[in-house]
């Protein structure tokens, strides 16, 4: 009975995350304001240090240090999502090895519908280098417009609020193309757009 329940839950999450159970999918696009998302702190000491966070029960994306956030939204149930890991690992390593980018750019993933144990298993299996946050109850996923996964955004932090400078749905490009976009976004000035959340499908 327990195995049947787990199987049913897995199938439900798969269809939910691929957009079949949502009546509307409107992911954030360029110029959109990033909603303030709150997470429980299940991070390691190293991950907390990397993100510039002090030890506390909860934290938000606004608490993360840096100028630019590369955020991937995924699920451990998603069959194509693991193919993004080598690209994101390479981007993470390149940023940390570059004095001009280290500290300014942070790479994270948000696992929607996944428990801490599922995330830990995924990180071990695919050798994930960057922090993975849990959105177990789809609260952040809904705030981001119920995107199909994988979904990746570049977010620039400023005094007026965090703004999406690029968004892409699906597998991301090569590490070089992502790094090029990161460097361009750091020097770019972008204002908030009118309230619209239709994704342009650009690759971060």
Instruction: Taking the CA atoms of 117, 146, 40 and 204 in sequence, report the sign of the dihedral they define.
Output: positive
Q: Max CA-CA distance within the chain?
A: 56
pLDDT tens readout for residues 42-59: 899 999 999 999 887 899
Average pLDDT estimate for 100-106: 97
**Structural Rg of the chain based on CA atoms:** 16
pLDDT above 50 for 4? no
The domain limits of the chain are 2-187
Find residue 33's DSSP bridge partners. 163
147 CA to centre of own chain: 11
> For residue 58, what are its two tokens?
């909860």
pLDDT at 8 over 50: no
Cα–Cα distance measured from residue 122 to residue 132, given in angstroms and rounded to the nearest whole number: 10
The answer to whether 114 and 75 have CB atoms below 8 angstroms apart is: yes
CATH of 2-187, one of 3.40.30.10, 3.30.559.30, 1.10.10.10, 3.40.50.970: 3.40.30.10
Find out whether 91 and 182 touch, Cβ atoms under 8 Å: yes
Contact 195, 81 (CB under 8 A): no
Q: Return the percentage of the chain with pLDDT > 70, whole number.
A: 81
Is residue 177 pLDDT above 70, yes or no? yes
DSSP state, 39? Answer: E
Residue that wins the pLDDT comparison between 79 and 201: 79
Cα 204 from Cα 175, distance rounded (Å): 10
Give the pLDDT confidence score for residue 194 in this predicted structure: 53
Angle, CA 58 vertex, CA 112 and CA 35 arms, to 5°: 55
Written as six digits, the tokens of 136 are: 């177990």
* Contact predicate 12/73, CB 8 Å: no
């Amino acid at each position: 009975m327990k195995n049947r329940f787990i199987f049913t839950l897995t199938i439900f999450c798969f269809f939910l995350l691929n957009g079949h159970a949502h009546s509307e999918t409107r992911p954030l696009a360029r110029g959109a304001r990033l909603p303030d998302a709150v997470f429980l702190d299940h991070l390691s000491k190293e991950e907390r240090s990397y993100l510039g966070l002090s030890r506390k029960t909860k934290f938000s994306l606004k608490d993360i240090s840096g100028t630019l956030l590369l955020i991937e939204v995924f699920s451990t149930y998603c069959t194509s999502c693991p193919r993004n890991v080598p690209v994101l690992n390479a981007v993470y390593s390149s940023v940390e090895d570059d004095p001009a980018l280290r500290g300014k750019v942070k790479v994270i993933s948000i696992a929607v519908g996944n428990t801490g144990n599922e995330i830990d298993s995924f990180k071990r299996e695919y050798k994930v280098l960057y922090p993975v946050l849990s959105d177990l109850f789809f609260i952040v996923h809904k705030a981001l417009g119920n995107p199909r996964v994988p979904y990746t955004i570049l977010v620039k932090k400023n005094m007026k609020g965090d703004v999406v400078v690029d968004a892409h749905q699906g597998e991301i490009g090569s590490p070089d193309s992502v790094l090029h976009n990161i460097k361009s976004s750091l020097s770019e000035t972008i204002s908030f757009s009118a309230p619209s959340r239709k994704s342009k499908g650009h690759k971060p």
